[in-house]
Every structure is written in C-alpha cells, then in structure tokens.
Amino acid sequence: MTNITARERLLNAAVESFAEKGFSGTTTRDIASRAGMSPAAVYVHHDTKESLLFTVSLEGHRHSLDVISAAAATSNDPVERLRTMVYDFSLWHADNSRVGRIVQYEFHALTPEHRAEIAKLRRGIEKTMQDALADGVDKGVLDVADIPGTALALLSLGVDLVRWFVPGGTRTADELATLHAELAVRMTLRAPSSRASR
Amino acid sequence: MTNITARERLLNAAVESFAEKGFSGTTTRDIASRAGMSPAAVYVHHDTKESLLFTVSLEGHRHSLDVISAAAATSNDPVERLRTMVYDFSLWHADNSRVGRIVQYEFHALTPEHRAEIAKLRRGIEKTMQDALADGVDKGVLDVADIPGTALALLSLGVDLVRWFVPGGTRTADELATLHAELAVRMTLRAPSSRASR
DNA sequence: GCATACGCTAAGCGCTTGCTTAGTTTGCAA
DNA sequence: TTGCAAACTAAGCAAGCGCTTAGCGTATGC
C-alpha cells in the first residue's frame, strides 16, 4: 500500500525532473528530494535511474498507442476517423506534455534493449495512422500519394507540440487538438473534382 | 589561421557530441578527444561548455531564420511563397539534422540570458511564417482561421523531422521537403467554391 | 512478547565532472 | 640569437555523480 505510493511518488518526481532538465541533467538526488526521501530510498523501489526512465517512457508510449488505437476504432468513415485520431493524439500530448517530452526526447538515453522494446510501440503508432490513411484512399475518400510520409507529418503535429505547449497558456488543449484535426483533414481529403471523377 | 581551424574543429566536435548524447550527456573530454586535443585545449578557444552550446545554437537559429526569410522574399504569389518557405525550412532541417536537434532540443540547457537572446530569433521565424499566411488571407488566396496556430503547425513539419530523419535513409531530403510543401499548401489553400464566393 | 521483515536513512565509496594551473613547445619579430 | 606571445598539454582540484552498505525504527505474524 505505502509501497505502491512511495514507488509512484518517485515516478512522479522522475517525470517532473526528466521533463524539466532531461535524463542526463537529472540526478538521483533530485528525484529523491522531490519525492521527499533520502537518495538511497530511490533504490528500494527502482533498480537504476535508467529503469525509472524506462518505466515512464514505456507507460507513456503505451498510453499514446492506446489513445490512437481507440480513436481508430470509433468510426468506419475515413474522414471522421482521421479527425478523431489526430484530435485525440494531439490532445493526449497537450494534456501530458511533460510525459510527452520524455517519451519523445529521451529515447536515446534508454539502454539498447529498452530502446528496442519501445521502438516496437512506436512502429505500432505509425502503422495505425498509415492503415487509417490507406483505408481512406481505398474507399476513394482520401487522396494521399505518400502514405508513410503523410502519416509521419500528421503525428508530428501532436509530437512537436510538447516542445512549446504550456498548460494554462493562451490556447487550450482542446482548441489546439481541434485545429490539428482540421488541418489533418485538409491535408488528406480528396478534392471534390477528383472525387467526382471516380 | 590555425586559431580559427582549431576553434572550428572544437565546434564541429561539439555539434557531433551534443547531437548524439545531448548537452548534459556530453563531457568536455568527449569534445576534446573528438577534436584530437587534450581536455584543457577546449578552454583555450571557448569559455565554458555552455558557451560552445550557445555558439552552435545561435548559428543554427540564424541560419534557419535566414533560410525562411530568404524564401519569404522570393515571390509575391502567396501560394508559391508558402511552398518555397516550407520546402526550404524542411530542407534545411533535413540537411542539418544534427544542428537541428541541438537547436530544437537543447534550448533549455542555455543560460537564461542566452535563452532570451535565442528566443528573439525564434519569434522572428514564427513571425515570418505568420506574415506570409496573413498576406495570403488578405489577398483572398489562402483560408486560415488560426494564423499563429497554423504557422506553428507548418513549422512543426520541419522541426519534428530532426527527431527521426537519417541522411541516406529511404527518403531524400528533397522528397521530404517537397511533401511538406505540398501538405502546407493543402492545409491553407482556399477551396475553389469559397474563392468564387469572394 | 519476541522474531522477523520491511521502509527508510546516514554515511560514504570509487569514479567522473567542469575547469584551472603550471609548464612545455613552437613560430616569428627584432 | 634572443625574446616573447600564442597554442597546447600533463596533472590535478573540488564538487558532484550513481549506487551501496550498514543499521535503525516500526509494524505484523506467531
């Protein structure tokens, strides 16, 4: 009970510190003091500093994969589905921008084994977006010449927002996600004339 | 003469190391040995490790601002101008992905004074893109409801590519930049029906 | 009422860090 | 030939690093 709480307090402290100073810029003493504990207490609940990063990164990647997968299953209409996927993916990054920064920018700090495991989840995210575009093209609703490249561009909208988004700024997470969803549709929608020609 | 060469060899070594391991993950001994010098030689040519980062970051920001400013001046046609701006901005990031990673991801490692100076250049980049969009809207050629948000999204295409782009991969820098330029036009172009209504 | 296990800390080990100091080498002006 | 500045290195300092060890207090099962 208290075991779980202390472990999670340390994980939350690690998220704060990694997001603010990066993995290499964070000391185990930082994490411990943010969690209100002595430096040695970190090692009661976590093996190494890197395993803390791996736990945070794995959880973050799983969440964002879950979010985009769930969105992909909400509709059979390619346009509405794409709108939901981009909206939810960008919203998740805005609502979790600290975890998002760790997910996106600290990938290289993982051990090769952990990196390989997380790379699989990343491929899953890209695949989900590619499949949604391919289905829309098949149904004649979307016009996408370069599916992998366009999928990456759509994901970039969500990914890159963690670099500058601040909660409580001039723009809400919902407004940003709505904008991204609209831009995504415009990037991929087949023009009326070419749709008529089908 | 040799002074300039040694100074630049150290800067190149710093670019390699910062891009690969991040600023905090890089040691001054890394930089020195990559430049084929002793650790102390770094301090003959540069004040601190952070001043090396500042020099690299400042030069990188200036280059990318120059690139997008020059592109903004190539045409009066809003569509062609936007296409050129996005193409050149993404191309620069693909051709300079190591410097791009430092520019984008090591901003927080700068001292507050240096950060403030570089923030000005960043605002210049955003302003240039916003002005191009606003002019296109004024001329009735583009349809952009949220100009600051859309400008950020267009820049995100170039910025985020440094996270995954590898020279010599399946995609050339030119192909990627061409794709981004096309997507940018689709994101912002006024639809024929709404253009007719003007 | 005692033994045991658990959550945690004080102290610190061996190593690496950014940077400095003191001194050597080199090339060139007078 | 001498004098001197500039480029560079060997050695090392103080501080900070990830992580370990030894031990303390407390709660729980018996």
Q: What is the rounded CA–CA span in Å between residue B105 and residue B162?
A: 10
Residues 6+ apart with CB under 8 A from B94: B161, B165, B167, B173, B176, B177
**Mean pLDDT on B43-57:** 97
The label of the residue with tokens 């899953």 reads A124
Q: Choose the mutation target among B16, B160, B161 for the interface with A, i.e. most A CBs under 10 Å.
A: B160
Residue B194 has pLDDT above 60, yes or no: no
* Protein-to-nucleotide distance from the CA of B1 to the C1' of D1, whole angstroms: 27
* Protein-to-nucleotide distance from the CA of A192 to the C1' of D20, whole angstroms: 69
pLDDT tens by residue, A109-162: 999 999 999 999 999 999 999 999 999 999 999 999 999 999 999 999 999 999
pLDDT of residue A194: 52
How many whole angstroms from its chain centre is CA B69? 12
pLDDT tens by residue, A66-124: 999 999 999 999 999 999 999 999 999 999 999 999 999 999 999 999 999 999 999 99
pLDDT of residue A137: 98
Residue B198 has pLDDT above 90, yes or no: no
Q: Is the dihedral of CA B177, B84, B144, B148 positive or negative?
A: positive
Q: Quick one: which residue's CA is nearest to C8's C1'? A: A41
pTM greater than the 0.95 cutoff: no
pLDDT of residue A2: 38
Answer whether A60's CB lies under 8 Å from A103's CB.
yes
Q: Quick one: which residue's CA is nearest to D6's C1'? A: B3
User: Nearest-CA neighbor of A87 among A189, A181, A184?
Assistant: A181
Q: Which two three-digit tokens encode residue B27? A: 């040691």
Phi-psi region of B36 (alpha: psi -120 to 50; beta: other; left: phi over 0): left
Q: What is the rounded CA–CA span in Å between residue A76 and residue A163?
A: 33
Q: How far is CA A111 from CA A48, A106, A195, B53, B196, in A?
A: 11, 11, 49, 25, 57
pLDDT tens by residue, B91-134: 999 999 999 999 999 999 999 999 999 999 999 999 999 999 99
pLDDT of residue A72: 98
Secondary structure (3-state) at B189: strand
Of residues A24, A105, A149, nearest to B171 (C-beta)? A149
Of residues A22, A157, A193, nearest to B156 (C-beta)? A157
Residues of A contacting chain B (CB within 8 angstroms): 20-25, 104-105, 108-109, 146, 149-150, 152-153, 156-157, 159-161, 163-164, 171, 175-176, 179-180, 183, 186-188, 192-193
Q: What is the rounded CA–CA span in Å between residue B66 and residue A91?
A: 33
Q: What is the rounded CA–CA span in Å between residue A83 and residue A66?
A: 16
Q: What is the rounded CA–CA span in Å between residue B164 and residue B101?
A: 10
Q: What is the rounded CA–CA span in Å between residue B198 and residue B189?
A: 14
pLDDT of residue A192: 78
Which nucleotides of strand D come closer than 7 angstroms to any CB of the protein? 6-12, 16-22
Q: Which two three-digit tokens encode residue B137? A: 């809207």
Residues 6+ apart with CB under 8 A from A184: A82, A83, A86, A154, A157
Q: Quick one: which residue's CA is nearest to D17's C1'? A: A27
Residue B8 has pLDDT above 60, yes or no: yes
What DSSP designation does A179 have?
A: H
* Protein-to-nucleotide distance from the CA of A57 to the C1' of C12, whole angstroms: 32
Q: Say which amino acid occupies A184.
A: A
Band (pLDDT 50/70/90 cuts) for residue A193 is low
pLDDT tens by residue, B52-74: 999 999 999 999 999 999 999 99
Residue B136 has pLDDT above 60, yes or no: yes
Share the mean pLDDT of chain B. Answer: 94
Residue A173 has pLDDT above 60, yes or no: yes
